[in-house]
Structure 1
């Protein structure tokens, strides 16, 4: 429960609406957004705020991670379907306020991937969980065996499900923008070339 006078309350309240929007769009109807944001608050209470450079970014990444974990816990197969936020990418008829919420949700998930996973694992994760590619097709695209591709996907899911850390160096903004752009292009046009190309990024 959020209590008046709690440490870090101001920073949390400043982005609470954004956190709720992220939880709604990532988890969809599979988990309660309020519960997810409450869990994010608890993580924020346990965090060493002295080493958190950007409270807003920390809270958004934490909420995205918790939302992904909540979806996983509701499904029988141990994967994280990105469908809830992929399928609701805004069309031209969506009003600006809703478009802003959707953009925040997608950016938070992509930011989480760039902060936690290596480039190849980012690509494998998105091709599998967001676009539903079979492992043999992913393996051919990224130049790995199917067995290794499965291992990379499993490692990505485990890392995404891990407890958020506070001492991870922030990802370069350009790296985040590159993956976000490639993902959005693939989701809107069906052309995955740019996204697959990022698998070879050093």
Structure 2
């Protein structure tokens, strides 16, 4: 990921509030938009705004920057929602490589997961902003009201509505890291070996797969349901001539152990999933080449 602050003189970078809070700002924008590229653009715009004001007159730089990023993201999200209505096939958020302890390191908790970002897409822009600021970053209702120019009572109502909405749609999943590691290894082995029965045994009866190719690369344009359908589709992809040389590797994506598809040094897709009662219940396969920037740089933990 490109660091926008590289244009800041080295002597100033160490004390520049924008640099100091960059991870928080990126996390806010990314959770608001579900897009690495858009989050980077928001940070660029926020950096320009920050360096265009009289910084000595800003009493609380961190709050000023969060407010700036939030409102820029709100504007971007409002226009993005219209674009997504004409998106080809299922829309999935952009995956992001994270460190194994990314949730603790970046204060993003489980809301950085792909599953949660998908749920956040069902909120309206204001609800999403309030939820992210309150539930992820712990801002008070009064602070959020200041960011959004809304009365505290209104923010409290929006927060309650958004939280209830998210809780009712938040996917259930197992949190056993060892079990997830074992299932991930078995899944990759079954795919590499073309073992249909082994693959089906790993999938829950109600498993669903969403595939985001954005109309750019070949991908299923509708969700696939059921172990047989999902397993045969996965093995069919692996068996295609265009897939020759693909290897599956485990990686921590959006704070969870996941799978990425690799040819040579290029990462051509990210597969994230929920594990419930020891089986894979939901799979989200991101292969849109325009949405893979966040998984290309090994060890990138900018979120």
TM-score scaled to structure 1, two decimals?
0.45
Higher relative strand content? 2
Tell which structure's C-alpha radius of gyration is larger.
2
